Every structure is written in structure tokens, then in C-alpha cells.
A and B are shown apart, each in its own frame.
Chain A
Amino acid sequence: MAFDESGHDEPTLDELQLDALGELFNLGVGRAANSLSLIVKDEVELSAPSISFAYPSQITQALLDSEFKELSMVAMDFSGPFEARAVLLFPERNALAILSHMLDPNMPPEELSEFEQEAMCEIGNIILNACMSALADEFGVEFMGSLPEHHFSDTESLPLFGGDQKEVLLILQIHLSIRQERINGHLLFLLSVSSLHALLTCVDSYLTRLGIR
């Protein structure tokens, strides 16, 4: 961890740590794609091409600035060697396109009904659990995971990202395509600084166990 001038402790990971996390999450989304493909009975493409870090306040601002009212989010809490609130975030229109495809192809996507919110929850649940189980498997640890909750990106759900400067967001870009519908979203892990350290300790001992470090 290093510090930048603004006084934030900008989390910096070395190349190998980032690389390892990227591979682990790709393992997770690979499993998630398999589970989703069983549901839609068709091929599902899911990839997590990049990892980055940011602060909750930056994300809150980015949400306020951009298509703020049009995001669909699924949140779950995980606890174990480190604690994290995981949030899967998709532009609502895209999420709708995919969901209406899965639920009822004849229905024009107009608005997210309760039905679709539930289904969105389940998709988030599948992706997040797959990522966490991949981490648990490879790190040889155990997490406890809560049930998923669905939120719209309105002011009420902003506290999802804390706002606590001592917290850090690990951001994974997510590309999901099902039957020609493609959505780009983000998977966010909200971690306290101590949890981030615990995560990195897991990564380091994983690398050591593989004899790479």
C-alpha cells in the first residue's frame, strides 16, 4: 500500500497480486457462466477483463454524474478471512434486455417488475457466489454469504457504498452476453482497509503455496 498526495491511501498491488486476483475472478465468472448457461439452456459468455481500485466517494460521484437513475444493483455481504460487501451493478436498460429475453421474449422491456428484480437478484447471486467460491477454493478458506438484495440506484441505495474514506472498492469489469444481448457491468467489492490487507495476505500465501513467490 502506498499513499498519494491527496491523503488517500491509494491501494497499490504489485503486478503478480493483480494478475492472481484477475485469474481467480476469471475462474469465478467461468463457473458463473456455466451455472447461467444451465438456466438459459444456451451458451453464456461472461468475462472479467479488468481489475481496478477506487474509493467509495469516487464511485458515488461517478454514479451521481452518469446514468445515475438507470442502474440496477444486487448486493450481498460476505464474511470470512476478510469482510466484503459485494455489489453487482448493471445499466438497468441492458439488464432489462437480458432479463426479458430470459423470462419472456415476447414482452417488450418496459420496466423492471418485481418478477425481474427477483431474477436480477438471482443472476447477481450466481455470479457473486461463483466468484467467492472460487476464492474460497483456491485460498483454502471459508466465507459466510448473505442472501442477495436488489436495489435501484437511487439516493437510498447510495449508503451501499459507505462513504467511509477508510474503505476501498475493488472493481471488476464484467461483460455478459446471452443470446446476442450484451451487457457491460461492474462487480464492486467494498472492503475496509484491514479487509483489503487480509485479502492481500490470502493472495500472497496463495502465490507462495504455488511456489511463484
Chain B
Amino acid sequence: MDRAANAQLMDQLQTGVVLLDDRGCLLSWNAWMTRHSGIAPEDVAGRPIEDVFVEMKHSRLLNCIQQALRFRLSSVLTPGLNPSVLPLYQKPGDRELDQRMQQLVYVTPTCSDPYACLIQIQDMTATVRRERRLRAQSSQLIATTYRDSLTGVGNRRRFDQDLSERFREARSRQIHIALLMIDVDDFKAFNDRFGHQKGDEALIMVASALQEGLRQEGDCISRYGGEEFALTLLGADQEAASTVAERLRLRVEGLRLLHPTSRTARHVTVSIGISAVVPSMELPPQTLVSQADLALYSAKDRGRNRCMCFDHTVTEVRACV
């Protein structure tokens, strides 16, 4: 095929094609490039590519061209990491708005003299837009699927996932995992006295006090059900978990939410059951839940507004701290 035929074929491509010589000077580009850059190749041929697109100086693209020319290495520049490398526009009107085309760029060495480097550019604008939309939708979806609609903390699904992920991690790294089951004391009596609306408000306040009482990023209070909340702590042994539990208990007490019908105090309080283990291969995550539950019941038995731990050495419950 002769050169003219080649050029004609290149002009039909729906992809940008740029050819450079061994000094990085522009030899030619195809009609796609002319269309989207607004520059005719004959106006700039023979000039170093970074003079044609001034902003290319010190850019990764220029670096890649040099790698192709000097080392004969190929490179890819993706829209995610290099937004809009070249001043290319889908429509002439986009130029005034400075809305550049999103580009996927391939830089490869070639050995057909005088061509030393081939740059191919694909228009990714539609793909990137679709990706962004999908991402936005999916993060919204993820957020709502895992959030308790009343209190704004995690829901039961969040808790189940947290527990199974963290339990697996604790098992593989052979570190502690602790589970706190937190229950609002005499909540039924609160609802009976003040009505469900006030009850909901109290739950919201307790939930945010618990969530704000956590220091470590990534730790998440979840509403386990009704007036019960749960929390997993990765890397926390019984002592560390008890410290957190006691801090949370005091925070709720500190809210000073009046609760005249409570058998425990004049304010809303919580009881907390704790279990901490380094999971063995055989231990199922559900065991941790039963143990923390058991500890929670015994905290209730002993008068509420307190933290109790499940003691693994004697498989029974004892007071914390």
C-alpha cells in the first residue's frame, strides 16, 4: 500500500493517531486529531510535540514519549489517573467552555523509519461519564443499604458484614476481636411513659452518643434491633474493649435524658455485654454474639447500667474493670 492510501485509511479511523520522528518532532496526525484539536498537521509538522501542545512540558505524556524514543518502551495513560491530557474537544463549542475530551492514550515505539513513536488517543468521555454516574448511584445505594433509617448509624446488615469481615481478619492475623452488645435499660417503660415519638428521639440521641464516643476511624456502631446496638472492635482484647464499653456507658449516662420510670437511675442508661477472643479455626462468629449476649443478660440481672465481660478462662461472666 502506498503512503497516500495509508494516509486515507488513517483519516477514516475513529481514533487519534499522532506520528513522531526519533527526535520527538511531529511528522503527521490524522483527520480525527485535526477535528478535535482544531489544528491542521501541516501547520505544526516538524515542530517538537511539546511546542505544539505547550502544556506537555514536564508532563507524564512527554515522559512516556521520551521512554518510547530512548528506551523503546510502551506506555498507557488512563483517564482515571491523567484527566484530559491533551487539549482535545469533542465539539468545537466545548473549547470555549474548556470542556476537554476524556482520553485514553497509548504511546508505543515503532520501527518503520521515519516514524519512531506512535501515539493513539481514544475518546473516553462517554465511558467516564457513565462510570461517574454509576459510581454516584452505587455509593448512594451502598450508603442507604447499610444505614439504619431511624438513627443514622449502621443497620443489622452493616453489623453482620462488619462482624464476618473482621472476624475473618482476626482469625487470619491471629489477633483479638471484641464484640459489644449495648442495650438501653428499661426502654419499654420509657416508651410507655413518653410515647414512641419521644422513644425514637431518645434512640437517636443514644445512637449518636455511642458513635461519637468511638475514636478509631472505621469503627461503626450498628443498630442490632429495637433498642439494642452492637459494635465490633478489631485488635481489642478484653481490657481494651472494657475501656471502650465503660466510656460509652458513661457517655449515655452523661446525656442526662430523663427516665422517671427506670428501675435503674433517673436518666436513660445502657447495659453492655462484652466478649473478646482471638478466633480459632473452629470458632464460628455466632459464638461471639452468644457470649456477648450472655454477658449482657448478666449485666441486666445485676442491676443494669454496667458493663460485664464473658470470661473465657472459666466460660462465665464477670464484672469488668
Contact flag (A, B; Cβ within 8 A): yes
Write the residues of chain A forming the contact surface with B, with a CB cutoff of 8 angstroms: 35, 38-39, 76, 99, 102-104, 106-108, 110, 113-116, 118-119, 121-123, 125-126, 129, 132-133, 136, 142-148
The answer to whether A145 touches B76, judged by C-beta atoms less than 8 angstroms apart, is: no
B138 at the interface (CB under 8 A from A): yes
**A104-B135, A121-B76, A133-B67 are contacts. A144–B109 as well, Cβ < 8 Å?**
yes
A-B contact pairs, 21 of them (CB 8 A): A39-B81, A108-B142, A110-B142, A118-B78, A118-B79, A118-B80, A119-B80, A122-B80, A125-B74, A126-B75, A129-B71, A132-B71, A133-B71, A133-B73, A142-B71, A143-B71, A143-B72, A144-B109, A145-B72, A145-B74, A147-B106
**Within the assembled complex, what's the spacing in Å between the Cα atoms of A146 and B75?**
8
Does residue B191 face the partner (Cβ distance < 8 Å to A)?
Answer: no
Known: A39-B81, A110-B142, A129-B67. A148 touches B76 (CB 8 A): yes
- Tell me, in angstroms, the Cα distance from A136 to B66 when the chains sit together: 14
A16 to B76, CA, bound (A): 35
Q: B73 contacts A116, CB within 8 Å?
A: no
Q: Are A107 and B139 in contact (CB-based, < 8 A)?
A: yes
Per DSSP, are chain A's interface residues mostly helix, strand or loop, or mixed? helix
**Please, what's the 1-or-0 string for B149-183, where 1 marks a CB less than 8 Å from any CB in chain A?**
00000000000000000000000000000000000
In the bound complex, CA of A122 to CA of B74 (Å):
11
User: Residue A142 contacts which of B60, B72, B128 (CB distance < 8 angstroms)?
Assistant: B72
CA distance A107 to B140 in the complex (A): 10
Q: Is the CB of B82 within 8 A of A39?
A: yes
User: Chain B residues with Cβ under 8 A from A146's Cβ?
Assistant: 74
Contact of B71 among A102, A118, A125, A145 (CB under 8 A): A145
Residue numbers in B under 8 Å from A102 (CB-CB): 80-81
Q: Does B230 contact A (CB under 8 A)?
A: no
Q: Which of B60, B67, B79, B128 has the most CB of A within 10 A?
A: B67
B131 at the interface (CB under 8 A from A): yes
Task: Answer whether residue B108 sits at the interface, using C-beta atoms and an 8 A cutoff.
Answer: yes
Name the B residues within 8 Å of A132 (CB-CB): 71, 73
Complex: A108 Cα to B139 Cα, angstroms: 7
B44 CB–A CB distance under 8 Å:
no
**Structural contact, B80 and A115, CB atoms closer than 8 A:** yes
Instruction: Point out the residues of chain B lying under 8 angstroms from A115, CB to CB.
Output: 78-80, 128, 131
- Provided the pairs A39-B60, A119-B80 are in contact, do residues A125 and B109 lie with their beta carbons within 8 angstroms? no
CB-CB contacts of B100-132 with A at 8 A, as 1s and 0s? 000010101100000000000000000110010
A149: nearest chain-B partner, CB-CB: B76
B residues 47-97 near A (Cβ < 8 Å) are: 60, 63, 67, 70-82
A116 contacts across to B, CB distance below 8 A: 80
Residue from A103, A107, A122 within 8 A of B77 (CB atoms): A122
A145 to B109, CA, bound (A): 8
Cα distance A35–B61 when bound, in Å? 11
Tell me the smallest distance from the CB of A27 to a CB of chain B, in Å. 14
- Other than A122-B76, A145-B72, A147-B74, give 10 A-B pairs with Cβ distance below 8 A: A39-B82, A99-B80, A113-B131, A115-B131, A119-B80, A119-B81, A132-B73, A136-B71, A142-B71, A147-B76
Q: 0/1 per residue, B236-247, Cβ < 8 Å to A?
A: 000000000000
Q: From known contacts A35-B60, A39-B81, A133-B67, infer whether A106 and B139 are also in contact, taking CB-CB under 8 Å.
A: yes
A32 CB, nearest partner CB in chain B, Å: 11
Interface centre among B76, B127, B138 (most CB of A within 10 A): B76
